[in-house]
Structure 1
Amino acid sequence: MKDLRVRPSLTAVLWLCLAVALITELINPLTSQSHSETTKITVWFKPGYPVNRFVPSNAFGAALDGHEKGEVDRMLSSFWKSNPYLDQHFTGERNSKLPQWVLIDLGTEKSINVIQLNWAQPFARVYDVEYGHFSGVDDISQSLPDVWQTFPLGKVVAGNGGKTTLRLSRGSVTTRFVRVLMKESSRTSMRRSADVRDHLGYAIREISLGTLNLEGNFHDEIHHATDHGDQTSIYVSSTDPWHREIDKDNLIEQPGLDRVFHSGLTNGLPSLIPVPVLYDTPENAAAEIRYLKARGYPVERVELGEEPDGQFVASEDYAALYIQFAKAIRAVDSKLKLGGPSFQDIEPGEKIGLTPTGKPDWLKRFLAHLKECGHLNEYTFFSFEWYPFDDVCQPTAPQLAQATQLLKDSLAGMQDAGLRAIPWIITEYGYSAFGGVAEMDIEGALLNADTVATFLTLGGEQTFLYGYEPNDIIQEVDCSSGNNMHFLLGDDGNISYRMPTYYGARLLTHEWTQPGKDMHELYLATVDESESQAKRLVAAFPVLRPDRLWALMLLNKDSSNARTVEVRFHNEANGSESEFEGPIELYQYSRKEYELSVNKEGSYPIRNEPPAHWTQPGSTGLVMQLPAYSMTIIRGKGPLPSP
């Protein structure tokens, strides 16, 4: 284990996470159905040309993981304010180029002809009131409306602030979504302040939206309430990161930076440290780095960002903030490598009409803005999170079958968007971002193993597995419960069970790879299955370790069928084929060692043994049985691909 990733969330909570997993196990072939045909696995190597080279202490890291109420609560003492660091005072760009906005989702289509804006200060002098819709699927949980039109009377070029009632049209417009797009600020403040940030951006106390009849009676379509859950949904482009000491949430527990570095989790090696961008300031980011340097803690990379794509943040806004944070951090330490943005996911999306969706377009515009501003060189690594399956109610077998290709397609989409040849890092990963039983079962361990090995095969550099700290089972959906975790917490506050993820992580870092700082070579392997067998359900990942032993990891993602496999090495330089030589060690992990109770409200292990391990004296003509839903590691001598 090398790197430690401390990730602040919106509340700056630090949670705990360790890196990576990959598991294997061999069971009695009679315990599951088996194909009568033999699957041939070929390890392809060209002397001196692996598909990737990696150091386990760098590739597998430990990680620590670390909203806004306002415009429609009927309280004029509260308000929303945009991020002042997106004003031209800090960005050097015209405010109209980075407009800020407030979006109202009425839930269903309503008749609208008037809006009431109770401005705080600073207020917008130039703004448009627009109505919008989706050009494709109407799903605001995934994206915002992408087609907007200004109301006939919705353009304001000389706003005066205060309580403003604006007639939007002579008739009524039927719409669900309304947006206030702010382009120029008054640069005024509610109180005399020497802090320029108080004068920048836009602030709104309250919004009402609806119709004004001929008698002058206003019908408000917005639900105003002090409780956030009872309010009409409001989305904003940014939020002022200003906060007070009394805003601290005393119910949050988090390890401090000193605790983390003194815990031994980092093994004294350089860590990947994040700084929040959307909800903090460049000054605070610099202070964090300054503190770490003063304490002598080794830091190599700094991740800038906290899932901006999942919070509907414009890529241009994030780029403008990224530039400022990079400048502040480099003033403290110019040698640090900066990157991000910690994408919530990297799903390819699609193009609906003329509007592209998905993360590739977001990345493309982000990189374009950095380049336009002359700061593309400040972006030195690409980071994202990988929780591929949101629906934990669906069967796991089809999900596991598509997992490998989903990661390949997603990364290919990011490359098509202009991702340069810089390091790729998965800074969080697991089966799902929602609690599901698969995370506590063999399926979760298989997904973790496949994610790491596939990512390294594609050229990835580092992975950070979420869920290192002992944890509880959570139920977020009616159909299932679970959690991404290594250890299940008991009622007494101690670890009650080691989970499949734990055993997988240990197999990955101690058996598939050789612990330490020495270089490993990863090669390709093909799985030759007949047409009668399911495709892509067996995966193979060969590693040549520093001790000159081959370690082949085999994953059988078939939920009901075992596989019989034979392994060959093919030297692409001279065309020769060979096998493992002499005695081999084997590790295998399947349902023979682990079984989970069936209880959607809180499953627990009813059989929980470590992976099976044995040594086989001779390897000539080796034929292996891979149980259904299993992971296997074969380690021994083989041909050495010396150039």
Structure 2
Amino acid sequence: MTARLRRLRSLAPCFALALAAGAAGAAPLTVQVDLTPAGARGRLRPDVALGAGIDGAQRGEIDRLFTARNIAAMRSLGLRPATYRLRTELGVEAWHWTEQGTWSDAVHAQGYWTGSDRLGPPIRLSWGYQLPRRGDTLDNANNTGWSRLTDGDLATFWKSNPYLDRRFTHDARPHPQWIELRLDAPAAIDAVQIAWADPYATAYEVQYWTGQDDYDDEGRWRTFPRGAVRAGRGGTETRRLAAQPIRVQYLRILMTAASRTAPAGSTDIRDRLGYAVREVGFGVLGADGAFHDRLRHAASHGGQSVTHVSSTDPWHRALDRDPDLEQVGVDRFFTSGITNGLPAMIPVGVLSDTPDDAAALVGYLKRRGYPLARIELGEEPDGQYGEPADYGALYLETAAAIRRVDRRTPLGGPSMQSAATELPLVEAARKSWNGGFIGYLKARGRLAALQFFSFEHYPFDDICGDIHARLVAEDPLLASMLARLAKEGVPRAIPWVISEYGFSAFSGQAMVELPSALLQADIVGHFLSAGGRAAYMFGYGPNVPINQHLPCAGYGNMTPFLADAQGQAGAPLPVFFASRLLSRTWLQPGHGLHRLYATQVLGQSGPAWVVAYAVRRPDGRLAVLILNRSGREPASVRLAIKGAAARRGPAEVWRYGPAQYRWLADGPRGHPVRDLPPQHSRVRAIGKLVLPPDSLTVVVQSLRR
């Protein structure tokens, strides 16, 4: 905490605020807001703190989204700063942010791509390029790709990322690479068959997992009795691993030394760095010496046994463009109005791209003169379940390349898919992905290279069952995540950013009902009150109800508007009204300094249905955001103020709840049947307030000395 911040807090007026709440006829609650210096909880500026993100999309969706009507609708939410989300990184694809650039093998239009930073016609659309040396069966984007390790084709191969070689990392720490495979069910295994490509492993171990499942804290990787190889020679080999078969489900090949050989005719050093494998099989050797494979081999993620790798070579070809994974062109993003002319947080690829291409993108944006708030390195690397030290090494390489063209814009990330991601198939002491990442930067003496920390917050895997109980559970969940990050060594002196937030990564009806407004307000209020710098809402554009995961979740989507048949913004949904209440009522629009203060809800027994967040606005008024998260019971509340004596002036009250909104569930045809803006009233003095169930209330109170 700076001395200047301490002085600002010491000047805060000493007031107190109390709210009496409870079901009609029940004993009132007290929500106490502490405006004394001891109650100060941080500062914010709305045009920095409240934002929204634009994600990658499928074929044709970018043009449907970026229309004048949709952009005007999105801007009307009042969430002014924007962040660009990088879907290609989730899909194991390279991002060609421009189609102008150079291939390392220009003759064959293949190799390692570097976009051109020269200015030309505005870039309106960009695409992902599938990585043909892919080793993962599954991904977190369109999930249509597959592993080349179990595709049944010896002409294809997986290769690890050459940028993890010490030639690029300048790291004394080794970066072993691995292949993990999952059988459909436990089976007896005593042999492995590996068809190596170049470069092959000269030292490796073939291992099995001892745990009952992939997250078993007691699990360990054990090397098969005959699974340690110290003088590998490449080619295709079938190796007996044990005298007797061992019943296992999870298998691994851990590679620790490479041949540094390359295919005939290669002239690129990157071709000889890392490891490459054409096909893998696990099974048993019969009495006749024949190998009986237990893996499924197919060129589809649904037909093959699930394979996962530590990293993937970003090498690709012009013919690998994926027309079904679009990203908005960077010029279109900055000139469409979606950024409101404010500095934006933009990403660069890390896991599936090269440091040189990342630097070229930043150089291009600087040449255009676009204002940059932050540069986020990669997106959801923890969701790839690779080694955090590998991402750390690539992070530092990418940061060094960017600093050659931009010495000032803050660099950070890693935009974790969750602040609490735990790695599967590792021993308990290594399960925390973030702990491994921060530990790597510290070991390198490079923690200062992380200038902001970002993570995504989707608190629930599914949104079935008691949604209102989940709303209450979100508070301690977020608090525990923030405490965990601090314990793992994320510096508190750098900005913490929620790069995406919403109910769940999967759709459901709660996203188009009143709980969506309550969750949004609670995440924003809680995070900013805890010292967070900015929170970006995910699901900015109009959309339609879908169900993509569990039937019990119903149909819905993260969106502020119901889309019409042409994808244009139609009926506003609760997130729209919640966003406007947060950005235009609870906070005073603009760049003015707001101060947050501690609140307590006293008198609640049982679930903490009522929660409140208070802010002193630049106009001197106190704004209190109050949520009643009960789906059944109203709450009776009375305002009060804690601190030195002050006279309260007139107040304004906004209420949004069941009287304003109701959703008709009708599968993909669901729609609002009541869709009104918040109720607004002015009062000479605040007495008892009644908060309807499922409601969001904002009280703006004038204070007079």
Q: Is the TM value for this pair above 0.5?
A: yes
1:557 aligns with 2:557: no
Take 1:350 and 1:165, find their aligned partners in 2: how far apart are those partners? Answer: 30
Q: What amino acid is aligned across from residue 377 of structure 2 in structure 1? A: L
Counterpart-to-counterpart distance in 2, 1:403 and 1:164: 52
Aligned equivalent of 2:664, options 597, 600, 615: 597
- Pick one of 147, 150, 153 that aligns with 1:72: 150
Which digits, 9 at most, give the CA deviation of each residue in 1:393-444, with x for residues without a partner? 2220110111111100111011111121121100000011100111111101
CA distance in 2, matches of 1:123, 1:431: 44
Residue 603 of structure 1: how far off its partner (Å) = 2.3
**Cα distance change, pair 309–530 in 1 and its aligned pair in 2 (3 A):** closer
Aligned residues of 2:655 and 2:698 also touching (Cα < 8 A): yes
Residue of structure 2 equivalent to 1:517: 591
SS at match of 1:638: strand
1:146-194 per-residue CA deviation (whole Å, 9 max, x = no partner) reads 5111111111111111111111112211111110001111111123222
Moved more, 45-54 or 114-123: 45-54
State whether structure 2 residue 400 is matched by structure 1 residue 323: no
CA distances 1:443-482 after superposition (whole Å, capped 9, x unpaired) = 0110111000000111101000001111122211222221
Matches within 5 A, 1:296-311: 296-311=369-384
In 2, the alpha carbon distance for the partners of 1:269 and 1:611 equals 28
For 1:343-362, list aligned pairs within 5 A.
343-347=416-420, 355-356=428-429, 361-362=432-433
Length-normalised TM-score, structure 2: 0.81
- Between the aligned partners of 2:239 and 2:170, the Cα distance in structure 1 is 31
Contact 1:529 1:535 in 2 (8 A): no
Residue in 2 aligned with 1:242? 315
> How many angstroms apart in 1 are the aligned matches of 2:604 and 2:235?
73
Indicate how the Cα distance of structure 1 residues 221 and 35 shifts in structure 2: closer, same or farther if over 3 A, else same.
farther
1:522-541 equivalences under 5 Å are: 522-531=596-605, 534-541=606-613
**Equivalent-residue separation in structure 2 for 1:162 and 1:33 (angstroms):** 74
Report 1:10-29 matches (<5 A).
none
Partner of 2:195: 118
How far did residue 255 of structure 1 move? Answer: 1.5
| Pair 1:486 & 2:560 matched | yes
- Kindly indicate whether the alpha-carbon contact (under 8 Å) linking 1:439 and 1:483 is maintained by their aligned counterparts in 2: yes
**Aligned-pair distance for 1:380?**
1.1
Match of residue 91, structure 1, among 169, 181, 184: 169
2:184 matched residue in structure 1: 107
Alignment correspondent of 2:44: 54
Alpha-carbon spacing, 1:482–1:202, altered in 2? closer, same or farther (3 Å): same
- CA distance in structure 2 between the aligned counterparts of 1:481 and 1:454, rounded to whole angstroms: 28
Q: Kindly indicate whether structure 1 or structure 2 has the higher relative contact order, using CA contacts under 8 Å at least 6 residues apart.
A: 1
Is the Cα–Cα contact under 8 Å of residues 44 and 525 in structure 1 kept in the other structure?
Answer: yes
After TM superposition, give the deviation of residue 495 of structure 1 in Å. 1.9
Q: Residue type of the partner of 2:589?
A: P
Q: Does 1:44 align with 2:34?
A: yes
Query: Within the alignment, does 1:255 sit opposite 2:321 as a pair?
Result: no
CA distance in 2, matches of 1:189, 1:351: 32
- SS of the residue aligned with 1:401? helix
Contact 2:418–2:455 (8 Å) recurs in 1: yes
Residue 703 of structure 2 aligns to which amino acid in structure 1? G
The residue correspondences of 1:268-347 to structure 2 (distance < 5 A) are: 268-347=341-420
Q: Residue 411 of structure 1 aligns with which residue?
A: 482
List gaps (5 residues or longer) in structure 1.
1-28
Deviations 1:112-153 (A, max 9, x none): 11111011111111111011133xx62x4x699951111111
For 2:572, give the aligned amino acid: R
1:638 is matched with 703
Cα displacement (A) at 1:41: 1.8
The equivalent of 2:674 in structure 1 is: 607
Secondary structure in structure 2 of the residue aligned to 1:468: coil
Alpha-carbon deviations, 1:26-75, whole Å to 9, x = none? xxx9xx96352222222111149621110000001232223442111111
Q: Partner of 1:364 in structure 2?
A: 435
Aligned residue in 2 for 1:149 = 222
- Corresponding position of 1:225: 298
The CA RMSD measured in Å over matched residues stands at 2.2
Shift of 1:222: 0.6
How far, CA to CA, are the matches of 1:267 and 1:403 in structure 2?
31
1:501 pairs, out of 567, 570, 575, with 575
1:205 aligned onto 2:278: yes
Could you list the per-position Cα deviations for residues 72-130 of structure 1 after superposition, in whole angstroms to 9, with x for gaps in the alignment?
111112111111111122113357x2110001101211111111101111111111101
The residue that corresponds to 2:208 in the other structure is: 131
Instruction: Supply the distance in 1 between the matched residues of 2:402 and 2:256 (Cα, whole angstroms).
Output: 29
- What SS does the aligned partner of 1:302 have? strand
2:491 counterpart of 1:425: no
CA distance in 2, matches of 1:601, 1:472: 7
Greater alpha carbon shift after TM alignment, 630-639 vs 400-409: 630-639
Q: Which residue of 1 aligns with 2:452?
A: 381
Paired residues for 1:454-469 under 5 Å: 454-469=526-541
Q: Which of 386, 390, 398 is the equivalent residue of 2:461?
A: 390
Partners of 1:189 and 1:226 lie apart in 2 by 25
| Counterpart amino acid of residue 368 in structure 1 | G
1:265 and 1:491 mapped to 2: Cα distance? 22
> Deviation digits for residues 183-237 of structure 1, max 9, x if unmatched?
1111111232222111111111111110002221221101111222010111111
Unpaired runs of at least 5, structure 2: 1-20, 57-91, 93-133, 135-145
Q: Take 1:92 and 1:560, find their aligned partners in 2: how far apart are those partners?
A: 60
Secondary structure in 1 aligned to 2:524? helix
Structure 2 residue matching 1:568: 3-state secondary structure = coil
1:582 aligns with 2:582: no
Q: In structure 1, give the amino acid aligned to 2:621.
A: L
Q: 1:599: how far off?
A: 3.0
The one-letter amino acid of 2:199's match is P
Alignment length (residue pairs): 594
The alpha-carbon distance between structure 1 residues 171 and 350, as it changes in their structure 2 partners (threshold 3 A), is closer
C-alpha distance in 1, partners of 2:179/2:172? 19
CA deviation vs aligned residue, 1:540-589 (integer Å, no higher than 9, x gap): 11111111111111000111000010111111xxxx4556x232111110
